[in-house]
Amino acid sequence: MKKTDVLVIGAGASGLMAAYNLTRAGKTVTILEARNRIGGRIHTITNELFFQQAELGAEFVHGNLPVTLQLLNEAGIKYEHAGFEMWQYDNGRFTQNGEFIEGWDELIEKLSELTTDMPITEFLDTYFADERYAPLRKSAIRFVSGYDTAIPAKASAKALGNEWQNEDDEHQYRLTHGYCGMIKYLADTCKSVGNQIVLGSIVKNIHWEKGRVTATTADGIVYTADKAVIALPLGVLQAKDNAQSAITFTPEIPEQLNAIKQIGFGAIIKVLLEFDHAFWHDDAITKLVGAELKNMGFLLSSEAVPTWWTQSPYDTPILTGWLGGPAAFDRKDTSNEDMLQLALTSLSRIFKIAPDILKSKLIAWNIANWTADPFTLGSYAYDTVDSAEARQILFKPIDHTLFFCGEYLYDGPKMGTVEAALSSGKKVARLIVGE
């Protein structure tokens, strides 16, 4: 096998972005990917009959994000505003409101004043312990678990405050033809000059010394390079030694592996349901709600699968369910069939339609259990109190030979996003080129 300048381990958004920028800088690159496809936690599915376009993984561009939008514009990839109404179902009632949580502004203000970091549960117990704040505490914990897919007892209050203060609900986008177009653009650019992407390559060992890296795959194939970019999901790097995707380093890198354990990694199960029609537009539902749901984008609830969204502004009969955080981890071994039933039961309780009737309206369904996926083992990163210090360790190359990149190394307000992954890949490429 020919030797290249850089090995990139992992063909997700971060690894491909690193390889793309290294390619443009004239470096030779070999990308090794364990799956039989590129994209990692980006996975657009298309079918002539069902799910003509749906995202099993990343779906939105959460704001006017500079790295993501610059790349899309450069590639000529179309994206459009994902305008929608936010609804909530709680205690048997539907409500529409821009701010569901009474006291949220007070919470944000107190977070902005925080000087010593602590887990968000400790923060709430310290500053919002009064009984009148009980609904606020419940809502905040639900948001941390669901949206951030985090364990509230570990999630950094300061990081969450930074994230929440920088929410940009007015600028939410979807890629017109799915995120796969962006992934394909990055890969095609790399391959256009002869760089190689090797699928089905589960890297089990990285043997390194200064200026030389040898990667050995599960099937015994060996690749060599001057440097390596480790662009694996945090869940894989945190995996136990007996996991299918576990990777070892020779010599060992204990400081970096300990730092990796200090960053939180969430759990997620995503449910895609395509019905024979958008039943939430039916007159019976309008009567139940007391208003039309034709522009409903998100629906939040306290059900077992609590969060749902539509393809708004498109009138598409697809509902996407989202179960995140500890509840998703507890369900990681649940069969797809049982997850489907749980999802239908949740919708049944919300819309007062029997699960069997809802099931009869289904024409396709798909469960994306990223927490059980052996090459992901979770959702995306969240900050703990120790994450900032851990990232500083992982930012530093090991003997100018091993480099880490991934969305978990992003230190801005958009943790856990494609923007975070792309930013990290771009950053590590600049670091290598600049040496």
* Same-domain check for residues 146 and 293: yes
Looking at 358, 379, 400, the residue that finishes a domain is 379
In the predicted model, what is the mean pLDDT of residues 187-206? 97
Query: In the predicted model, what is the mean pLDDT of residues 107-119?
Result: 94
> Are 167 and 276 in a shared domain?
yes
With beta carbons less than 8 A apart as the criterion, state whether 164 and 106 touch. no
Average pLDDT over residues 397-416: 94
- pLDDT of 40-64, one tens digit each? 999 999 887 788 889 999 999 988 9
In a shared domain, residues 373 and 279: yes
CA torsion, ordered 367, 44, 72, 81, to nearest 10 deg: -60
Backbone angles phi, psi at 348, to 5 degrees: -60, -45
Round to whole Å and give the CA distance between 194 and 279. Answer: 50
Q: Is residue 188 part of a domain?
A: yes
pLDDT at 100 over 60: no
Task: Indicate the pLDDT class of residue 386, thresholds 50, 70 and 90.
Answer: very high
Q: Is there a domain that residue 59 lies in?
A: no
Same domain, 139 and 39: no
Helix axes 104-112, 120-127, angle to 10 degrees: 110
For range 195-217, the mean pLDDT: 97
- 189 phi and psi angles, rounded to 5 deg: -60, -45
Alpha carbon of residue 418 to chain centroid: 7
Section 177-201 average pLDDT: 97
Q: How confident is the model at residue 96 (pLDDT cuts 50, 70, 90)?
A: confident
Among the candidates 379, 407, 425, a domain finishes at: 379
How many angstroms separate the CA atoms of 206 and 228, rounded? 9
Q: Are residues 184 and 132 in the same domain?
A: no
Q: Which band of pLDDT confidence, cut at 50, 70 and 90, is reported for residue 98?
A: low
Same-domain pairing of 247 and 217:
yes
CB distance 55 to 39 below 8 Å = no
| pLDDT on residue 87 | 93
Domain membership flag for residue 72: no
Residue 74 covered by a domain: no
**Over 80: is that where the pLDDT of 102 sits?**
no
The reported pTM is: 0.95
Specify whether 345 is located in the same domain as 287. yes
Instruction: Please state, rounded to an integer, the average pLDDT across all residues of the chain.
Output: 94
**38 within domain boundaries:** yes
Q: Given this model, what pLDDT does residue 315 score?
A: 86
Total residues belonging to the chain: 435
Tell whether 56 is covered by a domain: no
pLDDT in tens, 299-342: 999 999 999 999 988 889 999 999 999 999 999 999 999 999 99
CATH of the domain at 332: 3.90.660.10
Q: Residues near 417 by Cβ (< 8 Å), separated by ≥ 6?
A: 58, 62, 65, 380, 407
**Residue 220 has what DSSP assignment?**
S
Of residues 356 and 62, more confidently modeled: 356
Range(s) of the domain holding residue 9: 4-43+178-263+384-433
Residue 389 is predicted with a pLDDT of 96
pLDDT above 70 for 213: yes
Which of 335, 352, 379 is the last residue in one of the domains? Answer: 379
Query: Which of 74, 15, 75 has its CA nearest to residue 42?
Result: 15
Share of the chain above pLDDT 90, in %: 85
Per-residue pLDDT at 1: 62
Weakest-pLDDT range from 39-53, 279-293, 369-383, 395-409: 39-53
DSSP 29-75: EEEE-SSSSSBTT--EE--SSS-SSEESS---EESS-HHHHHHHHHH
Domain at 34, CATH number:
3.50.50.60
Same domain for 120 and 149, yes or no, is: yes
Give the model confidence (pLDDT) of 230-288 as tens digits.
999 999 999 999 999 999 999 999 999 999 999 999 999 999 999 999 999 999 999 99
Tell me the C-alpha to C-alpha distance, in Å, between residue 359 and each of 119, 216, 277, 340.
41, 46, 12, 9
- Looking at the 3D structure of the chain, how many domains does it have? 2
Task: Give the integer Cα–Cα distance in Å for 344 and 339.
Answer: 9
For residue 73, being part of any structural domain is answered with no
Does one domain contain both 140 and 203?
no
Query: Are residues 132 and 30 both part of a single domain?
Result: no
Considering the domain architecture, whether residues 167 and 273 belong to the same structural domain is answered as: yes
Q: Does 347 score more than 90 pLDDT?
A: yes
Q: Can you give the pLDDT at residue 51?
A: 87
Note whether residue 53 is domain-resident.
no
Q: Do 323 and 268 form a contact (C-beta atoms < 8 A)?
A: yes
**Residue 291 predicted with pLDDT over 70:** yes
Sole residue written with tokens 């530093």? 396
Same-domain status, 146 and 284: yes
User: CA angle 82-425-265, nearest 5°?
Assistant: 70
Alpha-carbon distance values, 130 to 102, 106, 125, 135, 176 (Å): 14, 14, 9, 11, 46
pLDDT band at 412 (very low <50, low <70, confident <90, very high): confident
